Chains A and B, each alone.
Chain A
Amino acid sequence: MSDAAPPAADAAPAAPPPLSPPARVLVAKPGLDGHDRGAKVVARALRDAGMEVIYTGIRQTPPAIAEAALQEDAEAVGLSILSGAHLTLVPRVLEELRAREMGDVVLWVGGIIPAADVPALRALGVAAVFGPGSPMDETVRFVREAVAARRARAEPASAPDGP
């Protein structure tokens, strides 16, 4: 019945406390490429930062991703795309999210995205793009801050709660 965890072997120094309740994040791989190591590494890093990460597996269609985001009440959706089809897939995912009134979900993209395509993705409504070599901390910090900001927008009346 002990609620207190034993001390972690390598407790991270001075990481900001996780959001409460934990951020709910969907990590999905749309399209046909089946290489999900990157998606899994990101999912694991977000989990280790205290988030609840729903991983859908590979080869998901845009409607299936949006529907999963809806059912899971995801606050952020990360798409891992290595196939080069990002300019096709991302607008379709956004369209499906908006059709479900989920347009305010934080959408970010990771994978192999040419720098020249980033402005186009940002213009569509993608909140951030992370390529190879992005420090994992950066992704974690981005998701935490974006989810916290979304919560603050949703409940502007409530003051920040103390313990």
Chain B
Amino acid sequence: MTDGAARTPSAGGTAESARALADRALAGDRRALARLLSVLEAGGPGAAAALRVVYPRAGNARIVGITGPPGSGKSTLVAALARLYRRQQARVGVLAIDPTSPYSGGALLGDRIRMPDLAGDEGVFIRSIASRGACGGLAAAAAALTAALDAAGYCRILVETVGVGQDEVAVAQLAETTVVVTVPGLGDEVQALKAGLLEVADVLVVNKADRPEAERAVAELRLLQSLAPAAAWQPPVLATIATQGDGVAALLEAIDAHGAYLLASGTADARAEARARAVVLAAAQARLADRLGTTAAAPAWQAAYREVAAHQRSPYDVAAELVAAVDLTTEA
């Protein structure tokens, strides 16, 4: 969040109206679903009340994360996957996340440009969301929004992250299957992938495979994998040309195969619990950060900041006092 934009505690209306909205959304009212997503995104008591209705009804959808560097073709791949899911008669939810400007707090959400044909299909619900200052390539409310689409009956959910660099791997804490997309010709991109993104990939895609050096990019990724000890699930490395749909059917097969592996290997539950822990922890951190920010903004602390600025006191000591002063008792 930018400094100027104070959070409105009442954003999203009352808890009562939020519950009513959630009921209507889950009964199939698409307008209500759209507003529910806004309520969940705004956070606060309205979101808490709505999620209480939504969450028990979720848990049926297959959630697939698509991540990778900016311009690698994530949106186009998401659109191509959504089309294939529609051919299987599955209802598809898409969460497309774009970055919020740290300067203005605004965002330009352009992922729909790559999905023009899906706008007229009632079996597809696309929502663009801004990262609103969250790190890791997702938005803080992404898990709640995913749950809402899930509960509303969208049984395949594609979560497209912000264009990410190396270690923005939050999507793996939300998706059951994470697809990491890269493109040929990024130079040392494979080296860069090593540390973060590569580790969360369940499926690896080299998109824009009609470009020179695509085969080399695929070969390098496979070589990198061969250096690591053999794992029970070896992420397949696939080549796609998303704009033409080439390789997308194979990608869908690989995503399905990973889902089948999770079930067959008995790791699905453990992974679900790990994801739940991550979601709870993130929500708890956000609450604490909110309280901490309120405490730190109180005029009483100005004197301490002055002392730190004048190098009379250590910032660590003041931080410890600040944390001790946070009011944890009131219900937000």
Contact = CB atoms under 8 A, between A and B. Distances in A.
B116 A22 contact: no
A113 B133 CA distance: 38
Given A17-B4, A161-B9, A64 B31 contact: no
B108 A56 contact: no
B102 A5 contact: yes
A18 B104 CA distance: 8
Contacts of A49: 104, 106
Given A20-B8, A21-B11, A67-B120, 15 more contacts: A22-B107, A22-B130, A46-B106, A50-B2, A52-B107, A52-B109, A54-B109, A54-B128, A55-B109, A71-B34, A71-B127, A72-B128, A73-B34, A161-B8, A161-B9
B74 to A, nearest CB: 16
B108 A72 contact: no
Interface residues of B, number: 44
A47 B106 contact: yes
A44 to B, nearest CB: 7
9 contacts: A48-B104, A52-B109, A53-B109, A55-B112, A55-B113, A57-B113, A60-B116, A68-B126, A158-B10
Chain B residues touching A, majority SS: loop
Contacts, number: 131
Query: 3 smallest A-B Cβ distances: which pairs?
Result: A163-B6, A5-B102, A57-B113
Interface stretch (B36-44, B257-265, B271-279): B36-44
Nearest to B112: A56
Nearest to B34: A73
Main secondary structure of the interface of A (DSSP, over half): loop
B211 interface: no
Interface of B: 1-11, 13, 30-31, 34-35, 37-38, 41-42, 100-110, 112-113, 116, 119-120, 125-128, 130, 132-133, 135
Contact of A22 (B34, B105, B112): B105
A20 B106 contact: no
A44 B106 CA distance: 9
Which of A49, A73, A163 neighbours the largest number of chain B CB atoms within 10 Å of its CB? A73
Contact of A21 (B30, B41, B119, B126): B41
Contact of B127 (A21, A72, A101): A72
A104 to B, nearest CB: 11
Interface string A45-82: 01111111111110111011101101111000000000
A132 to B, nearest CB: 22
Interface of A: 1, 3-6, 8, 11, 17-18, 20-22, 24, 43-44, 46-57, 59-61, 63-65, 67-68, 70-73, 100-102, 155, 158, 161-163
A118 B329 CA distance: 57
Contacts of A102: 31
A155 B110 CA distance: 29
Given A20-B5, A102-B31, A1 B104 contact: no
A53 B105 contact: no
B219 to A, nearest CB: 35
A68 B119 contact: yes
Nearest to A54: B109
